[in-house]
C-alpha cells in the first residue's frame, strides 16, 4: 500500500496536542462537604486502582484519537499497488480555443502536449492511448503501438480550427481502442 499524499501523515502529530490538552485538563480536586459520614462507604484512593485506570483511559480521548487517525489516513489517500502497470487514456482538447497563447510564449495546446508527454514519461502507465478531440477526433497513439512513437506523435499534432468533438465521437474513439473498461483512468488536457 502506498499513500498518494504522504505529507498529510504529518498531521498525525496533532495526536500529541490532543494528549497534551487531555493531560492539562482540570481534574476533580478538593471539595468542601458538610459532613464526612457520606464518604465512609466509598473505597479509599489506595483500594481503587481500577477507578484510576478508568480515569486514565478516557473513552472520549480514544474517540478523538481514532477520529484523528481516520481523518489523517483519508487525507493521505492510501492506494494498493497492483503488479501490472496502469492503463491510461489521455484526451487532448484539439479545438480552436487551444490555439490561444497561455503563458506569453506557448499555446495552450503546446502546454497540454508537454504535460501529456510528462505523464507518459512518468513510467507508471503501462499502456497509453492518446486521442486528440477536435472537429475530427483522431487517435494519436494506439495503446497497442510502440511507446517510443508517442512523444513524436504528440509533438507533431496540431489543434483544429473548429469546435470540440461531440460526446458520441469520443465514445466511438474509445470503443475503437478497446472500450471504457480497457483503461484504469482517463486524463483530459484542455
Give the whole-angstrom CA distance, residue 187 versus residue 88.
8
Give the whole-angstrom CA distance, residue 61 versus residue 16.
12
Q: What is the pLDDT of residue 72?
A: 95
Specify the long-range contacts of residues 167-171, CB closer than 8 Å, at least 24 apart: 169/133, 169/137, 170/91, 170/131, 170/133, 170/137
Give the whole-angstrom CA distance, residue 177 versus residue 99.
27
CA distances from residue 7 to 71, 90, 122, 136, 177 in whole angstroms, order as listed: 13, 27, 20, 43, 37
In the chain, where the domains are located: 2-79, 86-189
Q: Note the pLDDT tens digit of each residue in 20-59.
A: 888 787 666 677 777 777 677 666 655 555 555 556 678 8
Q: What is the pLDDT of residue 99?
A: 83
Q: Which CATH superfamily is domain 86-189 in?
A: von Willebrand factor, type A domain (3.40.50.410)
Name the more confident of 41 and 18.
18
Give the whole-angstrom CA distance, residue 70 versus residue 63.
11
For cell 487514456, name the residue: 89
Q: Note the pLDDT tens digit of each residue in 93-113.
A: 888 888 888 878 888 888 888
Q: Could you tell me what percent of the chain has a pLDDT over 90?
A: 14
Amino acid at each position: 500500500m502506498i499513500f498518494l499524499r504522504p505529507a498529510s501523515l504529518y498531521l498525525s502529530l496533532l495526536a500529541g496536542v490532543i494528549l497534551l490538552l487531555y493531560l492539562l485538563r482540570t481534574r476533580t480536586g478538593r471539595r468542601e462537604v458538610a459532613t464526612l459520614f457520606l464518604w465512609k462507604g466509598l473505597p479509599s484512593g489506595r483500594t481503587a486502582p481500577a477507578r484510576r485506570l478508568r480515569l486514565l483511559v478516557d473513552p472520549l480521548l480514544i474517540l478523538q484519537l481514532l477520529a484523528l487517525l481516520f481523518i489523517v489516513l483519508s487525507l493521505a489517500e492510501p492506494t494498493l499497488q497492483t503488479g501490472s502497470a496502469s492503463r491510461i487514456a489521455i484526451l487532448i482538447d484539439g479545438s480552436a480555443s487551444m490555439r490561444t497563447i497561455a503563458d506569453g510564449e506557448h499555446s495552450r495546446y503546446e502546454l497540454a502536449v508537454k504535460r501529456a508527454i510528462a505523464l507518459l514519461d512518468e513510467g507508471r502507465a503501462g499502456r497509453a492511448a492518446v486521442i486528440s478531440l477536435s472537429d475530427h477526433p483522431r487517435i494519436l497513439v494506439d495503446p497497442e503501438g510502440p511507446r517510443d512513437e508517442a512523444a513524436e506523435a504528440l509533438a507533431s499534432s496540431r489543434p483544429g480550427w473548429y469546435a470540440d468533438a461531440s460526446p458520441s465521437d469520443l465514445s466511438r474513439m474509445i470503443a475503437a481502442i478497446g472500450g471504457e473498461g480497457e483503461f484504469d483512468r482517463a486524463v483530459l488536457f484542455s
